Homo-oligomer: A and B are copies of this chain.
Amino acid sequence: MMWYESAGRDNDVAVSSRVRLARNLTDYPFGSLLNDASAKEIIERVKNVFEGVGDYTFTDYSDLEEIERKAAVEKHKVSAEFASSKKPRALIESERKQVYIMTPEEDHIRIQSILAGFSLEEALSRAREADETIDGALNVAYNDKLGYLTHCPTNLGTGMRASVMLFLPALTISGGIRALSAQLGKIGLTIRGMSGEGSSADGCLYQVSNQITLGISEEEIVSKLSKITESIIEKERNLRQKIKSADNGRFEDRVMRSYGVMMYATMIDTNEMMRLYADVRLGAALGIIDGASLSELDKMMVRGMAANLTCENKEIKTPEERDRARAELIRRILSGAE
């Protein structure tokens, strides 16, 4: 199961939570200096560590078709860099634990846990469990003064990046994202739109994450990010109530129209899907729509992306066919057939 297939805490605003730990082995050069033979050795070593541990499975990403790798990026299971790399590389993952270990990525090992909703502490605990398994078996590069050594100095220390994916339509509509961004920058956090500029065409999805990894503990990072996330959630909820009550039915009409298009259109492109997703997800969060659950909508949004859609429908050849398959998938998910 992946994050978009279940309903997490506070998921009216918090879509998913992620913790990523960057680790390197002492016996090999870092990132760009790593040759293919060494990369294969690292993959073998990490694979052996997780053999027989829990229910981890191994996938050689060098063998995978491009469309499958892109689909994994859309699911946030692997990074875009990992997917497009030319080097030997593998993913070791536990579906049940929702932990995904890329080896090698920019660092020799990158452990991620992604969970539905607002679950940073749980994501940290799951990533740490995998980290301890590695630590107990391999020589991980660690310096008493600097902490974990990483390829890029911005990851030194904890080697950790914690982030929450937030659905912020009301803050977007009210123009509050810029001020929020400035405010977060001052305390070592950052916010960015999920696909660039964060217009409503991106589904009003944003990622808030820590920038600083050094001189601060993992718990402190998670605690700080959690506190800020709670205040953003609060602000977004208040603004939503204002939108709902202020506009004399216009907002409800817009939400219902978008739902109607989802239920009946026969061709929907990605941009439109994201716009509809934002409208209907907000409507569902406010109780205007009861035909669509938040997690159904998240599932629709991920599975409706180009690569995932093509993986599920191998016969797709043209953009028109993809738009048709997307409209059909949306209808099936909303009518409970998927």
Query: Which chain B positions have C-beta within 8 A of A266?
Result: 249, 252-253, 256
Docked Cα-Cα span, A253 to B257, in Å, equals 15
Interface residues of A in 250-272 (CB under 8 A from B): 250, 252-253, 256-257, 259-267
Q: Which of A98-112 contact B (CB under 8 A)?
A: none
Q: Which of B257, B267, B320 contacts A265 (CB 8 A)?
A: B257
Report if A263-B265 is in contact (Cβ < 8 Å); known contacts: A248-B320, A249-B324: no
Number of copies: 2
- Closest B residue to A324 using CB positions: B249
A257 B261 Cβ-Cβ under 8 A: yes
Residues of B within 8 A of A248 (CB): 320
Q: Which of A250, A256, A262, A324 has the most CB of B within 10 A?
A: A256
Whole-angstrom distance from the CB of A291 to the nearest CB of chain B?
A: 10
* Chain B residues, Cβ within 8 Å of A253: 265-267, 327
Distance between A174 CB and nearest chain B CB, rounded to angstroms: 22
Question: What's the nearest-Cβ distance from chain B to residue A150, in Å?
Answer: 49
Central interface residue in A248, A250, A259, A265, by most chain B CB within 10 Å: A265
A244 to B150, CA, bound (A): 60
Interface residues of A (CB under 8 A from B): 248-250, 252-253, 256-257, 259-267, 320, 324, 327
- Listed by A's residue number, 18 A-B pairs whose Cβ atoms lie within 8 Å are A248-B320, A249-B320, A249-B324, A250-B267, A252-B266, A253-B266, A253-B327, A256-B264, A256-B266, A257-B261, A257-B265, A260-B260, A260-B261, A260-B262, A260-B263, A260-B264, A263-B263, A263-B264
Known pairs A257-B260, A257-B264. 14 more at Cβ < 8 A?
A: A249-B266, A253-B265, A253-B266, A253-B327, A256-B264, A256-B265, A256-B266, A257-B261, A257-B265, A259-B264, A260-B260, A260-B261, A263-B263, A263-B264
